[in-house]
A and B are shown apart, each in its own frame.
Chain A
Amino acid sequence: DVQLVESGGGLVQPGDSLRISCAASGFTFSTSWMTWVRQAPGKGLEWVTNINQEGSAKYYVDSVKGRFSISRDNAKNSLYLQMNSLRAEDTAVYYCVRLDNSGYMAYWGQGTLVTVSS
C-alpha cells in the first residue's frame, strides 16, 4: 500500500526556519512527481510546490517563492520542505502528496501541523 508519512511540524516563531519531511513507501518513489499542499485552520486547500522525479524541476506558489525550497532524496524515499522566514500566514497542516499523471493527487499523507506564532 502507498504510504506517505509527514514529520517535523511544530510551533515556531515568525522569522524562524523549519524543515518538514515525508517518508514514502509502497511505490517507486524515484519515478514519481511529488507535491506539498497546505491547509490553514478552517480554510481551503492551497497547492504549495511540486518537484519532478530527479529533483531538477521545481515549481512554487508565489506566496512562498524565495522562502520555501522543496527537495528529495530518492535513495531514502524521502521528500522535504525547507521553510525559511516563516510568517503567521504559513500556519497550516502541510500534506505530502504523490502527483499522478495529469496533475491529480491520488495519495495523501496524514499531514503535519506547522504553527507560526510568537
Chain B
Amino acid sequence: DIQMTQSPSTLSASVGDRVTITCRASQSINIWLAWYQQKPGKAPKLLIYKASSLGSGVPSRFRGSGSGTEFTLTISSLQPDDFATYFCQHSNSYPYTFGQGTKLEIK
C-alpha cells in the first residue's frame, strides 16, 4: 500500500500569512493527488485535483504543486475561513489512502 505522510501535523498562522503543507508518498503516484479541506462536523471539500488543478469554485489563493512523491499545498494569503484541517489523498492505485491531516490553527 502507498503511504501518504503530511507535514506538519499542526500549523499555527495568522490571517494574511502564506503557508505551505507538504504531502509525501511512499512511492511515485505521478500526479494522482488531491487535497481536501475539512471543517469540524462537515464533510471534506475538494480543493485541488491531479496535483495542481483547482477545484470548482475554489479561490485562487490555493495552489497545488508536485509530482512523483512530493507535493505541496500553498495558501498565498490566509483568510479567516481557511482555518481548518487539510488532507491529501492519492488515487494512483488501490487502496486509495489519505494523509493523516494537517490542522491549520489561528496563531
Chain A residues close to B by CB (< 8 Å): 44-47, 50, 59-62, 95, 100, 102-106, 108-111
Q: Does B67 touch A at the CB level, under 8 Å?
A: no
Residues 72-107 of B, flagged 1 when their CB comes within 8 A of A and 0 if not, give: 000000000000000101011011111111000000
Known: A102-B32, A105-B44, A109-B43. A44 touches B50 (CB 8 A): no
Known: A44-B101, A45-B98, A47-B97. A104 touches B43 (CB 8 A): no
Chain B residues close to A by CB (< 8 Å): 32, 34, 36, 38, 43-46, 49-50, 55-56, 87, 89, 91-92, 94-101
The answer to whether B43 and A95 touch across the interface, beta carbons within 8 angstroms, is yes
The answer to whether B36 and A46 touch across the interface, beta carbons within 8 angstroms, is no
- What's the minimum C-beta distance from A43 to chain B, rounded to whole angstroms? 9
Q: B91's contact among A44, A102, A108, by CB below 8 Å, is which?
A: A102
The answer to whether A44 and B98 touch across the interface, beta carbons within 8 angstroms, is yes
The answer to whether A62 and B95 touch across the interface, beta carbons within 8 angstroms, is yes
The answer to whether A44 and B87 touch across the interface, beta carbons within 8 angstroms, is yes
Known: A44-B87, A45-B87, A111-B43. A106 touches B94 (CB 8 A): no
Residues of B with C-beta under 8 A to A108: 43-45
